[in-house]
Structure 1
Amino acid sequence: MYGVSTKVNTGFDETIDRVTAALQSEGFGVLSDIDVAATLKAKLGVDQAPYRILGACNPTFAHKAISAEPDIGVLLPCNVVVREDDDGQVNVLYMNPLDVLELVDNPQVPGLAAEVRERLDRAMASIKD
C-alpha cells in the first residue's frame, strides 16, 4: 500500500495545525503546502472539498538518503495529505516510505525508510489524541 491513512475528529484547519506540529515534533518541516482545492477553483472553476498536500522533510534523513542515492530526490519530500470528505470527515494520509522506497535498489535505503515510517507513525498517532 503506497499510503497510510487515518480519520480524525477535528476540523480541517485545526487538523492542518495539528499535523504540522506533530511533524515538527518528529523533526520534519513542511517545505511546501499545496492547496489543491484553491488551485482547482482558480484554474478550473471547480469546487473541491478542502484538500491540501504538505511536503514534509526531515533534513537529517533527506541528507542520508541523498548521500546514499543521489537520484532519490524524485521521491522526496514525504507527502502528507489532509482532505475533507463531502460529509465533513477529515482524513490524513501520508506516503508509506517503506513501499515507495522499495523502488530504490540500494541496501542503505530500507533502514532509512523504516526510521522515517516510525516517525510518521508517531506523528499521526499524536494527532488522534
Structure 2
Amino acid sequence: MFHYTINTNQTVEEAIKSLETSLKEESFGVLWNFDIKETLQNKGFEYDQSYHVLEVCNPKEAKEILSRNQMAGYFLPCKIVVYEDAGETKIGMPRPTKLIEMVDDDKLKDFANNIEKRLIRCMDNSIA
C-alpha cells in the first residue's frame, strides 16, 4: 500500500499536538503546519473539512540522505496529514519506502525503511 493511515478519537488539533510530541521523541520536528481549510477560506473558497499537512524533518537524516542522492530531495520534507473524514480524525502519510522506489537507488531503501518505521511509531504513539 502506498500510504499508512490510522484513525483516532482525538480532534484534529489534539492529534496534531500529540503527534508533534511523539515526533520530537524521534528527533523529528514540524517545519510547517499547512492548514488547507484556512488557506482556501482566505482565498474565498468554502471548504468545511479540517485538513492539515505537516512537513516533518529530521535535519541529520535529511543531510545524510541528500548527501547520498540529491534526487531524494524531491520527497523532503516528509509529509504527514491530519484531517477530518466523515466525523473521524485520521493521520496518514505516504510511505517513504514507496517514494524512494522512484529514485531507483538500492542504497537508499534501508534508509527509507528506517525512517518509515520511526514515523509509523510516532503516529501510532500519538494515539496511544
Deviations 1:15-42 (A, max 9, x none): 1100111111111111111000001111
* Residue 102 of structure 1: aligned partner: 101
**2 CA distance for matches of 1:23 and 1:48?**
28
Contact 1:22 1:123 in 2 (8 A): yes
| Structure 1 position 92, deviation (Å) | 0.2
RMSD: 1.2
Secondary structure of the residue aligned to 1:108 is helix
SS for the counterpart of 2:100 is helix
| Partner deviation per Cα, 1:68-117 (whole Å, 9 max, x = no partner) | 00232111111000001242x10000120000110112222101101101
Does residue 68 (structure 1) correspond to residue 68 (structure 2)? The answer is: yes
- Counterpart CA distance in 2 for 1:2 and 1:39 is 27
Please, what TM-score do these two structures have when normalized by structure 2? 0.94
5 Å-filtered alignment, 1:1-129, equals 1-87=1-87, 89-129=88-128
Q: Which runs of 5+ in 1 are unaligned?
A: none
SS in 1 for 2:27: coil
Runs of 4+ in 1 over 6 A off after TM superposition: none
Amino acid at match of 1:42: N
Cα deviation, residue 67, structure 1: 0.4
Q: Does the 8 A contact of 2:82 with 2:89 survive in 1?
A: yes
TM-score by length of 1: 0.93
Q: Note if contact 1:40-1:48 (Cα within 8 Å) is conserved in structure 2.
A: no
Structure 1: how far apart are the matches of 2:67 and 2:38? 36
What is the identity, as a one-letter code, of the residue corresponding to 1:34?
Answer: F
Mark the runs of 5 or more structure 2 residues left unpaired by the alignment.
Answer: none
